């Protein structure tokens, strides 16, 4: 359904039954199979079924709402719609803004519970080059993924008691609302909307880390619940970010034709990440230990440079800090450079980061993958000291200035999420009182489907009542 008032300002709101898009999905499926040679037949079948069924259900809703004299089988006073007028000839009903919000809430539940996202591979994303087909696909796919994100937040006990969690829920619900209101033929409006969603969600990591730390401090979540939630939440963000970025890339003049680099040079990415990490280290400590990069075999593979850069930046940054704090001076650290080795075979790319920074105590090894573990003062404490008094609509920019060298507690687990998302993995081995070796393994062919949690533990709302922020 769409709304004729794009800004949703004032009341009443006009709700229209939008033309179902199953033909577009079928067209996308057919063109994609012809281009990539891979099968996405599972994509079209459920979409066809659900929208054919959805059309019948929508007609039933129209008939019931436009005939208030017919009593429903069971009274549902909380759902009594405030109908102002209806026009069966045009398929349009005029309802109140409150009713419109309730319908959107019910749609979020349906999309999150009854529909399933479609896992993609990097190779498939690389071949999504037709803007029209991709736009039609995203108008079906992104609402499902955002609805599941909303439900994931609502699965947390007492989530609505915490301002940052209400902000996150509001941002994703707003993204869902906007996507459901965009007709597939409005290319410029869709592109601008994607840009706006990415801009508003740019600081999501800060919000979610503050939110869960506050919930943990108030004993609303256990550490295990925090780690499980953040793993699912942050992994889900990767997929929507990649798909949105792919569309923006192929529709921007004089830009790369894909967010995926088909022949990514990992050594080049490592050099960039090492330079950035060394600059940050010099900013905080006044000097930086040496970094040696060894290229074995000059491997290339399809990957997203932004994510590889993030992983390598985090690993090298951790090693630099360990060496600096262990040896204390440039002269003492000269004999102990950080060493990065890049190699691979036909199936796997391997990157190893080694340092002599003293290692990690073996008793702490199980904690290094926790989002709540950090050996430094949590960096988000300074910027979230007023979190309990934040306004619900606060989505201001919080990542201004120079980044801290450590303290967010999410560098290693988030790096592992990026690796696992595309079929790789991250391992960390510590030699106490000597140093640490970190191994990053990545799929070279780019043919592994994205990691995607399927089940959501959020409770279904009782009839006529939807969860809302306080």
| CATH assignment of the domain containing 418 | 3.30.565.10
Asked, for residue 348, whether it belongs to a domain, the answer is yes
In a domain, 346, yes or no: yes
Q: Is the pLDDT of residue 354 over 70?
A: yes
* 296 and 334 assigned to the same domain: yes
Residue 72 lies in a domain: no
Give the pLDDT band of residue 192 (cuts 50, 70, 90). Answer: very high
Residue 4 covered by a domain: no
Confidence of residue 81 (pLDDT cuts 50, 70, 90): very low
Q: Are residues 111 and 232 in the same domain?
A: yes
Amino acid 99: pLDDT: 87
User: Who has greater pLDDT, 167 or 454?
Assistant: 167
Higher pLDDT, 53 or 370: 370
- Identify the domain containing residue 167 by its residue range: 98-251
For residue range 262-307, list pLDDT tens digits in order.
999 999 999 999 999 999 999 999 999 999 999 998 899 999 999 9
pLDDT at 229: 95
Whether residue 283 is contained in a domain is answered as: yes
Tell me, yes or no, whether 55 lies in a domain.
no
- For tokens 């950090």, name the residue: 374
Q: What is the pLDDT of residue 456?
A: 53
pTM of the model: 0.74
Phi, psi (deg, nearest 5) at residue 461: -70, 150
Q: Say whether pLDDT at 213 is over 60.
A: yes
336 and 195 co-located in one domain? no
Q: Considering 199, 227, 251, which residue would you say is the last residue of a domain?
A: 251
pLDDT surpasses 50 at 399: no
Q: For the domain that residue 195 is a member of, what is the CATH number?
A: 1.20.140.20
Q: Are residues 242 and 139 in the same domain?
A: yes
| Domain membership flag for residue 370 | yes
Looking at residue 422, its pLDDT comes to: 87
Residues 305 and 221 in one domain: no
Model confidence over 302-317: pLDDT tens digits? 999 999 999 999 999 9
Of residues 85 and 422, more confidence is placed in 422
Residues 168 and 127 in one domain: yes
The total of structural domains in the chain comes to 2
In this structure, the answer to whether residues 245 and 350 fall within a common structural domain is no
Per-residue model confidence (pLDDT) at position 4: 40
Indicate whether 241 and 112 sit together in one domain: yes
Q: Are residues 224 and 347 located together in one domain of the fold?
A: no
The answer on 331 and 201 residing in a single domain is: no
With a cut of 50, say whether residue 168 has pLDDT above it.
Answer: yes
Least reliable range by pLDDT among 107-111, 146-150, 371-375: 371-375
Looking at the fold, whether 234 and 299 belong to one and the same domain comes out as no
Residues 241 and 309 in one domain: no
Over pLDDT 90: what percentage of the chain?
60
Q: Is residue 372 part of a domain?
A: yes
């Amino acid at each position: 359904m769409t709304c004729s008032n794009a800004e949703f300002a004032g009341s009443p709101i006009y709700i229209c039954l939008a033309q179902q898009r199953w033909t577009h999905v079928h067209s996308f499926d057919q063109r994609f199979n012809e281009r990539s040679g891979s099968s996405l037949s599972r994509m079209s079948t459920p979409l066809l079924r659900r929208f054919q069924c959805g059309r019948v259900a929508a007609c039933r809703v129209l008939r019931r709402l436009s005939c208030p004299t017919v009593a429903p089988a069971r009274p549902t006073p909380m759902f009594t719609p405030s109908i102002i007028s209806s026009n069966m000839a045009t398929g349009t009903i005029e309802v109140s803004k409150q009713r419109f919000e309730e319908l959107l809430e019910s749609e979020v539940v349906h999309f999150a519970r009854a529909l399933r996202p479609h896992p993609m591979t990097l190779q498939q994303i690389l071949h999504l080059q037709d803007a029209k087909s991709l736009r039609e696909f995203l108008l079906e796919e992104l609402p499902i993924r955002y609805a599941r994100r909303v439900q994931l937040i609502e699965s947390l006990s007492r989530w609505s008691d915490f301002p940052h969690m209400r902000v996150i829920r509001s941002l994703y619900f707003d993204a869902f609302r906007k996507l459901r209101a965009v007709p597939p033929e409005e290319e410029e409006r869709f592109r601008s909307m994607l840009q706006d969603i990415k801009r508003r969600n740019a600081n999501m990591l800060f919000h979610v880390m503050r939110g869960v730390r506050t919930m943990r401090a108030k004993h609303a979540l256990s550490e295990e619940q925090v780690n499980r939630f953040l793993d699912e939440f942050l992994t889900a963000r990767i997929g929507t970010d990649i798909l949105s970025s792919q569309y923006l890339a192929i529709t921007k003049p004089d830009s790369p034709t894909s967010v995926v680099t088909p022949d990514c040079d990992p050594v080049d990415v490592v050099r960039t990440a090492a330079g950035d990490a060394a600059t940050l280290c010099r900013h905080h400590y006044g000097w930086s230990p040496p970094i040696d990069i060894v290229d074995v075999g000059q491997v290339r593979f399809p990957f997203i440079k932004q994510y590889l850069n993030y992983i390598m930046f985090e690993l090298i940054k951790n090693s630099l800090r360990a060496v600096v704090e262990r040896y204390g001076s440039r002269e003492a650290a000269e004999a102990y450079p950080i060493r990065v080795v890049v190699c691979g075979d036909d199936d796997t790319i391997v990157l190893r980061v080694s340092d002599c920074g003293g290692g990690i105590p073996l008793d702490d090894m199980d904690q290094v993958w926790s989002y709540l573990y950090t050996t430094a003062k949590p960096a988000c404490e300074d910027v979230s000291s007023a979190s309990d008094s934040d306004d619900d609509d606060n989505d201001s920019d919080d990542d201004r200035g120079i980044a801290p060298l450590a303290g967010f507690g999410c560098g290693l687990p988030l790096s592992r999420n990026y690796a696992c998302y595309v079929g790789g993995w991250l391992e960390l081995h510590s030699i106490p009182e000597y140093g640490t070796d970190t191994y990053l393994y990545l799929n070279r062919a780019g043919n592994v489907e994205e990691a995607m949690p399927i089940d959501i533990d959020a409770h279904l709302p009782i009839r006529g009542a939807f969860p809302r922020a306080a």
